[in-house]
Every structure is written in C-alpha cells, then in structure tokens.
Amino acid sequence: MPQPDLHREGYAIFVRCCSLRQSTSGELVATIRTLDRILSDQIRKKDSDFFPNPYGGAIYCQNVAQALNAARDLIRELGSFGISAAIGVAWGRFQRTNNVRVWNAASIALNEAARLAFCPAAVGRVFVSPHFRNNAANLVVFGKEKACTVKDKPYRYHEIVSPDYQQQLTFPLVSATPHTEEMNIVLWDIVKYSTKEPDEQAALSNSLALSATTLLHTFGAKVKDYSPAGDGGFAVFTTGLQALTFARELGKYALFDGIAIRIGIHQGPVTTMKRGPVGPSVLLADAMCANAPPGGIAILADIWRNLDRVARSDWWFSEIGSNMIVLEPVRAGVSEPLVRAIVSEAPVRAVVSETPSLAHLVIPPLPANYVERPEALARLRSKLLSPTRGSTIALTAVDGMGGIGKTVLAEALSGIKPSGMRSPTV
C-alpha cells in the first residue's frame, strides 16, 4: 500500500454517532458497521483517508466541494439507517504519522472537527469552522457564527442550515447479532494533546505509536486486537494481568520519551471488525481514561480485585466510588504519591509530626463530598506556618472521603519553607 503524502492540506469530516453510550453490543456493532461502509464509499476505499474513533470516525477531503458533498451524504444516509449523528468539519494540515496498523495523521483539523461534532447542539446537524464557511461562500446556506465549549475550550462554528444537511431518522436501527468475546480493554491517550502545536503533535503521536507497536509485538497481540483512537489507541487482552502489565510497560515507554499519557482499563464483550475491536466496553474504557491522572491508570475495580498481590504490589492505589481504582506506579525512592489521598472510607485527617518531640496534631474531621475547602486549607496552612522553634515538620498522612486532593494540598504547601524548616514530605 503506498504511503500517504507526508504533508497535505484539506478538510476533516468527523462523524459522531450520538447514541452509542446507550447502545447494546448488537446496536453498537450495527451502527459502526454501517458507518464504516458509508465512510469507505466516500473515500473510495482509500484507507489512508479514514480515521476511526470509538465514537464514530473521520475522513479526509481534498477540497470544499468534496467536503460539502460528503457531509450531506453522510448525514442523510446515516439517518436513513436510523443512526443519529453529529458532524463537524474543519480545514488544516494533515501530517503523516505512524500507526500500529498502517498510517495515521496528526492534524489540528481533525481535533477541531471532532470538537464541533461533540457540541451538544450538533446532534442531527453539520457544524463547520469559520474558515470552511468563508471558503464555501454561497454554495450552501449557513447560520450565524456561534460558539460552544468542549473540554473547557471554546470553539466558533457555523451550522449549515440548508435542508439537505438536517438529519431525518426515517427508519429505526436494525440491531446486529454479533459474535462477542469477553476481553480486557486498555485505552490510552496523550494528556493535553489538542493544545500542542502541529509539529509537536506529530512527534508525540509518532513516538507513542512506535512504543505501542513494540509492546504489542512483545505481548504477542495480533493486529486485529488493536485500534487507533485519535492521538492514542486501545488494545484488548484476554486477562486483567496482561492488560495491566501492558499498561505498565506502555507507561514506562511514554515516561522515557517524555510523553504524558493516561490509561483506562475496562472489561466486557467486544466484537472484532475491520477497524479493530468494538463494543460498549471500549467506550467505558475511554470514560475510565478520562479519570486517570497524568502518568497513571484508572481501572475497573473488579479487574483490580481479581489480581494477585504480586501484580498489585507495583502500584499505589485509591478507590474512586465503588467501581474505579486509580493507580500510580511505585518508584524507588519516592514516597507514596498524593493519589492515595484522593479517596478512602476513613474520616478525613492530616497528621503533622514535629521533631524531635514527635508531637502529633490531628486536624478535626472534615465534611464528606466537599469541593471548596477554605476552612480546611486555612487550618492546614496555620499548622505548617507555625512550627515550634527549631522543629522540622513533615505531613505524613492525608486521606479521607474527598481527601485534601492534589490541587488543594499543592496550594497549601506552596511557598511554605520558613527558616529552620524543611519542605513537607508527603
């Protein structure tokens, strides 16, 4: 298969299938199978112009006329199969990058088109970037420029208000009866990827894809066990131990290359398709990933509890609710990280030790499920700022429902280093 151009400019059309989160395995497989067929027809089966995503997929179009025709055909055809969709379109550079399978692309246009498709108001509509609207001129009718916020970032857009670009669901979706297997899904992405410059995006995704390729080969994973997902990807494994071990090694590779990633691990039925594994559990792994700290893992609690003590000994862990465990790797010479302080069932407490007297001060219990902590923060700061003359203060424990948390604790400790006092140790 020939390589796509190293650099090319064009339009990204991102399609979000809007009801996947509520779908059964059969409905999800039917949706993705139909979407992939329609997208493949649009790009004339040129796989290098197709970019799969757990929530849908995207394609590359060379010019504005092709993009308009593709967006119109997609919104109409998906509606005829009972698939609710939202479409985002944006222009920009596509830079060829490595992929475990063949090729991928680093593209701000893909990121922007995806964000527009995830605007809440985009369901059944086609949203385009201002650049696209300017190039399309009077080819179709556009609405006024508006803004939406996705992942805490504002995006400007125009809706195509011509009737052919408004979706009508003419028939109900016909569910499939797929063959499924129970698998453990590991999904990863790059932290703050969309905020990077294009060249940095390309370098990061290239490096991470090469690391993933090496590790998947090491673990004996087949090509069908992997699928790209934007700036990251996901792979499936038969056991939780394999999944966590792969995640640990991928984290090591990323750390060595200076890449901040986060990982989600879930378990459930998946179906293997041309694009790779699909199923509701893939979306749940993506949701887990969003809760992981940079360099850490969010894993389904049932998977974690099923592991042996040796496998769990490599990690600091904290429970988030009843079904999620947050992990950070144990590293030599590093004390227990703050992730342990996020959540526990014990009353909230912070113990401050003063040497040489080793007196213990216990801050009174704090209310559960609180978000703002001005009183707790003030008490903690007052104790840290008022040590006995010549003493050394070390914060030795912080835990509880809601905990002090990384952000607030960092704020409490920032700038606190009076004369004769070493930095608090957590």
CATH number, residue 283: 3.30.70.1230
Mean pLDDT of 192-196: 90
Is pLDDT of 104 > 50?
yes
pLDDT classification of 374: cutoffs 50, 70, 90: low
72 lies in the same domain as 156:
yes
Mention every residue, 6+ apart, whose C-beta is less than 8 A from residue 137.
none
For the chain, report the end-to-end CA distance as a whole number of angstroms. 54
Q: How confident is the model at residue 382 (pLDDT cuts 50, 70, 90)?
A: low
For residues 59-85, give the mean pLDDT.
97
Residue 175 lies in a domain: no
Residue 421: inside a domain, yes or no? no
Task: Please indicate, yes or no, whether residues 127 and 29 belong to a single structural domain of this protein.
Answer: yes
If you average pLDDT over residues 325-350, what whole number do you get? 56
Band of residue 401 on the pLDDT scale cut at 50, 70, 90 = very low
Please report whether residue 406 resides in a domain: yes
159 and 225 part of one domain = no
DSSP 380: H
Q: Are residues 128 and 22 in the same domain?
A: yes
Would you state the structure tokens that stand for residue 226, as one six-digit string? 């992997």
Question: Residue 304: inside a domain, yes or no?
Answer: yes
Rounded mean pLDDT of the chain? 83
Which of 289, 317, 334 represents a domain boundary (last residue)? 334
Those residues whose C-beta lies under 8 Å from the C-beta of residue 289, and which sit 6 or more positions away, are 187, 188, 189, 262, 263, 264, 298
Instruction: Check residue 335 and give its pLDDT.
Output: 54
pLDDT value, residue 371: 44
Answer whether residue 1 is part of any domain. no
When pLDDT is cut at 50, 70 and 90, the band that residue 420 belongs to is: very low
Task: Work out how many domains the chain is built from and give that number.
Answer: 3
- Quick check: 274 pLDDT over 70? yes
191 and 292, same structural domain? yes
The DSSP element (H or E) to which 53 belongs, if any, is: strand 50-53
In a domain, 228, yes or no: yes
Query: Token pair of 425, please?
Result: 């140790």
Q: Which of 334, 352, 367 is the last residue of a domain?
A: 334
pLDDT digits (tens, 9 = 90+) for 198-226: 899 999 999 999 999 999 999 999 989 99
More confident residue, 400 or 287: 287
Question: Do 190 and 284 fall within a single domain?
Answer: yes
And the tokens for 269?
């039925």
Reported as a pLDDT band with limits 50, 70 and 90, residue 380 is low
The residue out of 334, 360, 395 marking a domain boundary is 334
Domain that holds residue 120: 7-165
Q: What is the pLDDT of residue 375?
A: 59
Section 178-196 average pLDDT: 95
pLDDT over threshold 90, residue 246: yes
